[in-house]
Amino acid sequence: MNGVTFLGDIWLPQPVKSAVNFDEPIVFNLEGPITGCTSPAHQKICLRMERNCIETTFRTAPLAVCLANNHIMDYGLAGYLDTLATLKAAGIRHFGAGTLAENCNNPLVLPVGDTLVGLLGYVCPTTDPVFAEDVRPGVRPITLSRIEMDIQTARQQGARRVVVNLHWGAEGVGVPRPVDVELAHRILAAGADTIIGHHSHCIQSYELWDSKCVCYGLGNCIFPSEWVLRPAPAGFTRFRLRIPAASGFSMRVRLDLESGTAAPSILRFDGGELKTVKRSVTRFLLPSMSPEAYARHYHRRAHGDLLRFDLGCFLAQPRLPKLATCFDVLHRLLKGIGVS
């Protein structure tokens, strides 16, 4: 055993089939609490899993799960504590969420064979997360100074490899924001071996920087169309969250613990089963260009991707759009072609 496989966003309200054999430890982003609590905590779409379907789906327990995301506190303190109790009962370790007194359980240093691996997790404020307080659980924001300290702590605890998990990026956009590219390079320079990104709900670019791998967004590994709660004038209402077919592709990344090299490949969840697919990953390589040229590239690509994402969501769940939504889409279109 000399490798760890990282997967993207996983939400398992029900067990699903997996045709993928994971013969090495896996780590993934657990996108929401495991709880029977029925009182959502926020005025947003709230995700939860009523029972632990992880081992039923993967036929094994993961090495650890990342809780550094914008949904772990969707059902408040009760939902968070239920999640920890469920994970503990299943022997599953976690990182990236907790109180400030616990440093949000960063770093988590675990043995894989003869190698110690340090796992860290942080969340971008733009994703609307609940941030931790001294005695109230939540997540830590992405700040370079905090990440530098936690990398150093992981090394002091004997970690040979340190992997930083970041919940960031624009939803539906297949390339990272210029500011995220700059920050990723600084995190690698601070001593991280690999960066794993989540949240975009689509595959984002990856790159090799100074022989280290940055995967800006792995996409939805398993994210089925299921019933969730969303805000309504009288509180919350149930609706069926339908996931666009294009969002069923994700990236998995195998980190070789001996060499430190990372090898990405493509998975597909078709709504009922997780499968491997023969699809080249090179199309997701981040283009090499100057910061100024990349900023222009991002501007053009982001508006086109958002239009496609909106269209995919509409086709998955057709409904009469609000007038404000029409104006927003038109504004994106005009900006994308340089009219406004």
pLDDT in tens, 168-221: 999 999 999 999 999 999 999 999 999 999 999 999 999 999 999 999 999 999
Of 242, 236, 148, 141, give the one whose Cα is nearest residue 189: 148
Whether residues 83 and 229 share a domain: the answer is: yes
pLDDT at 337: 39
Q: Is the same domain home to 204 and 332?
A: no
pLDDT of amino acid 35:
97
Residues 8 and 63 in one domain: yes
| Short-list 96, 86, 109, 92, CA closest to 66 | 96
- If asked whether residues 272 and 316 sit together in one domain, one would say no
Q: What is the DSSP letter of 69?
A: S
* Distance (Å, whole) CA 6 – CA 165: 10
CA–CA distance, 157 with 118 (Å, rounded to integer): 9
Co-location of 15 and 112 in the same domain: yes
Residues of the chain with pLDDT under 70: 1, 309-340
User: pLDDT tens-digit profile of 81-92?
Assistant: 999 999 999 999
> What pLDDT is attached to residue 309?
65
Q: What is the pLDDT of residue 44?
A: 85
The SS3 call for residue 225 is coil
**206: part of which helix (H) or strand (E)?**
strand 206-209
Q: Are residues 66 and 40 in the same domain?
A: yes
Asked, for residue 180, whether it belongs to a domain, the answer is: yes
Do residue 223 and residue 329 come from a single domain?
Answer: no
- What letter would DSSP give residue 102? G
41 shares its domain with 163: yes
* Contact by Cβ (8 Å): 224, 14: yes
Q: Examine the domain organization and report whether 216 and 327 are in the same domain.
A: no
Range of the domain at 331: 296-336
Residue 80 lies in a domain: yes
Look at residue 214 and tell me if it is in a domain. yes
Q: Count CA within 13 A, CB hemisphere, residue 300.
A: 7
CATH of the domain at 268: 3.60.21.10
pLDDT at site 336: 44
pTM of the model: 0.90
Is residue 48 included in any domain, yes or no?
yes
Could you give the number of structural domains in the chain? 2
Do residue 182 and residue 216 come from a single domain? Answer: yes
Strands (DSSP E) contained in the chain are: 3-10, 17-18, 26-30, 64-66, 93-95, 108-112, 115-123, 161-167, 194-198, 206-209, 212-215, 220-222, 226-232, 235-241, 249-256, 262-269, 273-276
Q: What is the pLDDT of residue 311?
A: 64
Are 123 and 141 in contact, with CB atoms under 8 Å apart?
Answer: yes
Cβ–Cβ under 8 Å, residues 31 and 242? no
With residue 18 as reference, give the H or E element that holds it. strand 17-18
Residue-level pLDDT at 138: 98
Q: Say if residues 301 and 290 touch (Cβ distance below 8 Å).
A: no
Going by C-beta distance under 8 Å and a sequence separation of 6 or more, which residues neighbour residue 3?
24, 25, 112, 254, 255, 256, 257
In the chain, which ranges are continuous DSSP H helix? Answer: 54-58, 76-90, 144-156, 178-189, 291-316, 323-336
Tokens of 224: 């089925």
Q: Is 235 exposed, middle or buried (0-12, 13-18, 19+ CB in 10 A)?
A: exposed
Q: Determine the pLDDT at residue 326.
A: 53
Q: Would you say 71 and 93 are in contact if contact means Cβ atoms under 8 Å apart? A: no
What's the token pair of residue 23?
């013969």
Antiparallel, parallel or unpaired: β 26-30 and 17-18:
unpaired
Is 291 contained in some domain?
A: no
53 and 137 assigned to the same domain: yes
The answer as to whether 282 is a domain residue is: yes
Residue 35 in 3-state DSSP? coil
Separation CA 165–CA 196 (nearest Å):
5
Q: Are 316 and 230 in the same domain?
A: no
Is the CB of residue 97 less than 8 Å from the CB of residue 67?
yes
What is the CA angle 40-30-285, rounded to 5?
125
- Residue 136 inside a domain? The answer is yes
* Model pLDDT, residue 45: 87
Question: What does the CA dihedral 77, 82, 84, 88 come to, rounded to 10 degrees?
Answer: 160
Phi/psi for 244 (5° steps) reads -60, 145
